[in-house]
Amino acid sequence: MDDLKSKYLTLIADAGDENTLEDLRVQALGKKGEISLQMRELGKMTPEERQTAGPALNALKNEINSALAAKKSGLQDAALDERLRSEWLDVTLPSRQRPAGTIHPISQVTDEVTAIFADMGFSVAEGPQIESDWYNFDALNIPGHHPARAEMDTFYTHRKEGDNRPPHVLRTHTSPVQIRSLEANGAPIRIICPGRVYRADYDQTHTPMFNQVEGLAIDKDISMANLKWVLEEFVKAFFEVDDVELRFRASHFPFTEPSAEVDIRCSWEGGTLKVGEGDDWLEILGSGMVHPKVLTAAGVDPNEYQGFAFGVGIDRIAMLKYGVPDLRAFFDSDLRWLRHYGFRSLDVPTLDGGLSR
């Protein structure tokens, strides 16, 4: 019996997993287990023999049972320790950085401009970037021989061999959208047309694609006084100043008469622009009263209706507002320069409620 005891206690101590333990339990205490068989032998013993063998077998059974239980809980503890070691994770680690999309500064500025004009009753109109020469030029009083066509560094599309119709162009301004809107909706009308325009030009202040917003207001009693007020409200809101002085300089555009280029009073202290005060003037846009020929081309009777139009370079006023010296910063893919100039739309919110740059 002592042999049995040491055999099972050794086997139990050496068991590596719970399945082995269960096998040992069956082997010793199962129906046909070694100890169960010995229990059965008790019946064949004399009462004297039974008195010593019975309690001894019971004690052995109990001892093996408690060794099994102790080993089982030891194995379970070890398994849990192993899981805690291998499945450990550091919940204090910062999360993996994911690249986040941001609003492009030009889109941000376009939205700012749109909101300002929306407050004054202008809605947004859009149109194609590839235009017929009629909408881009003729309807705007720029006939085929007009020097403005050559000056504009226009991108032309190709026609098939033998197709002598004038080629389509990449629109050089968003004026064609205004012609199309006027044609479709008639007067009165109050719209702005933001969008991409194209001219073959490339240096610090010119890119072959840039962004423009044009405005158009046509009604029965629109005058240059209305133009002046609208532009003043726009400049004050856009540059975030309480007051600003505008200077209208006589100019010439084929599509307006009279025409004026508009300057704002400013200063350039230490290289930074201050709008509204100072001894300098900064040209920011072109404008005028819509030429009667343009109204006629768009199907509006110039004896009944008149109005103003203007055109602003979005990239240009974005550069001025945010102090970006090179227009090309907007169109190469490295955003670090633009972040440097403080475009809020490029800032990425962080979990602690701050902003990362």
H helices then E strands: how many in the chain? 12, 12
Does position 286 interact with ligand 2NL (CB under 6 A)? The reply is yes
3-class SS at 177?
Answer: helix
Pick 217 or 244: Cβ nearer ligand 2NL: 217
Residue 290 within binding range of ligand 2NL, rule CB under 6 A: yes
135 makes contact with ligand 2NL (CB under 6 A): no
Q: Footprint of ligand 2NL on residues 165-184 (CB under 6 A)?
A: 175, 178-179
DSSP reduced 3-state for 137: coil
Q: How far apart are CA 280 and CA 148, in angstroms?
A: 29
With binding defined as CB under 6 A, does residue 57 bind ligand 2NL?
Answer: no
CB of 118 to ligand 2NL, least distance (A): 19
Max distance between CA atoms of the chain, in angstroms, equals 137
Whichever of 140 and 346 has its CB closer to ligand 2NL, that residue is: 140
Residue 105 binding ligand 2NL, by CB under 6 A? no
Q: Which amino acid is at 230?
A: V
Phi, psi of 289 (to 5 degrees): -90, 130
Contact partners, residue 67, CB within 8 Å, separation at least 6: 8, 9, 12, 13
C-alpha–C-alpha distance, residues 32 and 262, integer Å:
108
Q: By CB under 6 A, tell whether 307 contacts ligand 2NL.
A: no
- Residue closer to ligand 2NL (CB basis): 11 or 227: 227
* Residue 309 lies near ligand 2NL (rule: CB under 6 A): yes
Residue 216 or 264: which CB sits closer to ligand 2NL? 216
Whether residue 223 contacts residue 260, with contact meaning beta carbons closer than 8 Å, is answered with no
Position among 213, 287, 297, 319 found at the interface with ligand 2NL (CB under 6 A): 287
Residues that bind ligand 2NL (CB under 6 A): 175, 178-179, 214, 216, 253, 255-256, 285-288, 290, 294, 309-313
